[in-house]
Every structure is written in C-alpha cells, then in structure tokens.
Structure 1
C-alpha cells in the first residue's frame, strides 16, 4: 500500500471535497434564482441538497484526516469544475448533469482506485455518496420536467396542494392563484404529500 499522502486516493478525496464544496455553493445560488422566479419549493430543494453536499464534503475531509492529512497541503492540478448559472430550468439541468457525472463516473472510479490501493473504507464512502447523488439526479430531472411542462403548480389529476406559509390545504388540479387563508401567492404552494 502506497503512503497515503502520495496515493491517488488522497488526491481523489481532495477533488471530491472541492467538488462537493463548489456544488454546495452553486446550489445556494440556484436556490436564489428559483425563489426569485417563484419556485419556492424548488428553491428549498436546492437548499436541502446544498446541505447534503456540505455533509458529503465533510465526510471526504474526515477521510483525509483519518489517514493523517491534518495540516497538510494536497495539490490537485487535473480537476475540472463547472461554471454554469442561468434560469431555474437550466440550473436544474446543470445540477442533474453534475450529479450524474458524480455517481456514474467520478465516484465509481474513485471507489475502484481506493479499493485497488487498499483503502476500502474510503471506497465505501465514495460508493455510498454515489447512491445519494443518483437520487439527487433523479429528483432534479423530475423537477426540470415539471418546470418544462409547466406542471409545477398544476397536475393532470386532482391533487392536494399545501401553502408553505400557513399550512392551508387546497384540493384541485392546480394550486390557487393566492392562498385564501394568508393571501400569499401561488409561489408558496406545493403538492401535499404526507408519508410518515
């Protein structure tokens, strides 16, 4: 087994840490755009996912520390990081594409290398986070499809809609233009699903 600081796994953990940290910031920017465009639920999903990415970065940092990298400098010269910022529909596409690349290519490859180098604990972290990224991709693609089809605030079948401000529940094929209880705009409604 190679000395950890000279291993590919060490560099891969640092790339993953940098990538997750940047994704977190991109998602907070995307959340702001979604909120400004009236997609409050999508904004919250971007914010929630940003917090997930923060935790992923933390796990990668913990793995670096576990393997003796405290107070060390890890140089990564061959990483590529996206610069992509637009409207909510495009941002959802950018986010989905990034998540897909993480789980289908990057983390699966990093896990393979970690196993080959004898760092099975690190390989497990990459694999487990890859499964989360797969779910993130699917969610972003579904949300993008809803935006594209203008189905964020209406559905083909009758549905329950909850006002995120006051909790009022409306039943119908689409969310009301304004909440009859608190007078907040349609932006505050989302489909109501209660599964405990």
Structure 2
C-alpha cells in the first residue's frame, strides 16, 4: 500500500478528510436510526442517503492514501489496527479515565479492548487461512451453510 503523499501537508489533509467523512457517515447513520424511531421516515431516509454519500467520499480519500490493497494485505492491516486499539489505545484511554475518576468509562474502554483483541485474532486466523489456501477447503470435515439462505 504505497502513499505518494507521504510526509506532505496533502497527506495530512487527506487523512483529515477521510476521518471527517468517516465520522460524519457514522453520525448520520445514528441520526437516521433516531429519526426513524421517532417516526420521521423521510428525515431518516435523507440521513441514510447522506451517510452513503459520506462513505463514498471517505473511500475516495482512503484510496488516495493507498489504503486499499489485496485481501491478505487488508487482513494484515486490519489485524495491526485492532492490535493497536486493544494493546495501546484503549489501554491508555482506560488508564486516563481511571485516573480522572471515570471508573465506569474505564471499564467500558477495557471491555471494548477485549473485543478488539478478538477482532485481531479473527483477522489473523483468516489471514492464515488465506496464506495456507484453507479458505474454501479444510483438512477436516465442516458443515457448510449457505450465507444467502
């Protein structure tokens, strides 16, 4: 995943654009749920449509940053990101929250860290399956269930 903008202000701008569009997409998705729950179907649909637009904007900036690769590289990137979240980011957030007296929030950070650890493990297992050609074929008998049905 090469990034021709590495080390430039343009790279910083692209990262800010990606982050902003990604955050907006999530917010608008949440807002759509609230509007729908309150009976505002048209407003909910508009939030959802705008969230979809923001997703495409974010994808455009992510691609410019070289963030999309093949599946093995994407799995590696995802696993590395999840590792950072559970070993560093959420651990640090929990420590700070605890020190500042926000014990319930610290517990939430720790709980999410455990989930992120599971995500990392899952991505690494999938990567191993891809690398060993075990995605569509296993050495032991498995029951297969159609994902569409």
TM-score tier (shorter): 0.5 to 0.7
Q: Is structure 2 residue 55 aligned with structure 1 residue 98?
A: no
Q: How many residues align?
A: 93
Deviation at 1:121, TM superposition (A): 1.8
Q: Matches of 1:101 and 1:109 in 2, distance apart? A: 11
Looking at secondary structure, tell me which structure has more helix per residue: 2
Aligned to 2:138: 155
Residue 70 of structure 1: aligned partner? none
1:59-118 CA-to-partner distances (Å, cap 9, x unmatched) read xxxxxxxxxxxxxxxxxxxxxxx9632111111111111001100111001100111111
Whose strand proportion is higher, 1 or 2? 1
Instruction: Identify the match of residue 147 of structure 2 among 161, 164, 171.
Output: 164
TM-score (normalizing by structure 2):
0.54
Q: CA–CA distance in 2 between the matches of 1:22 and 1:148?
A: 30
- Point out where structure 1 has 5 or more consecutive residues left out of the alignment: 1-17, 26-53, 59-81, 167-196
Aligned to 2:128: 145
What runs of 5+ residues in structure 2 fail to find an aligned partner? 1-17, 31-64
Does residue 1:84 correspond to 2:30, yes or no? no
Cα distance in structure 2, aligned partners of 1:22 and 1:92 = 20
Seen in structure 2, the aligned counterparts of structure 1 residues 83 and 100 have a Cα distance that, compared at 3 Å, is farther
Partners of 1:114 and 1:22 lie apart in 2 by 25
TM-score norm. by structure 1 comes to 0.42
Query: C-alpha displacement at 1:119, in angstroms?
Result: 1.2
Q: Which residue of 2 aligns with 1:107?
A: 90
Quote how far apart the aligned CAs of 1:22 are.
4.9
Give every structure 1 segment of 4 or more consecutive aligned residues whose post-TM-superposition deviation is greater than 3 Å.
none
| RMSD (CA atoms) | 2.8
Query: C-alpha displacement at 1:159, in angstroms?
Result: 2.3
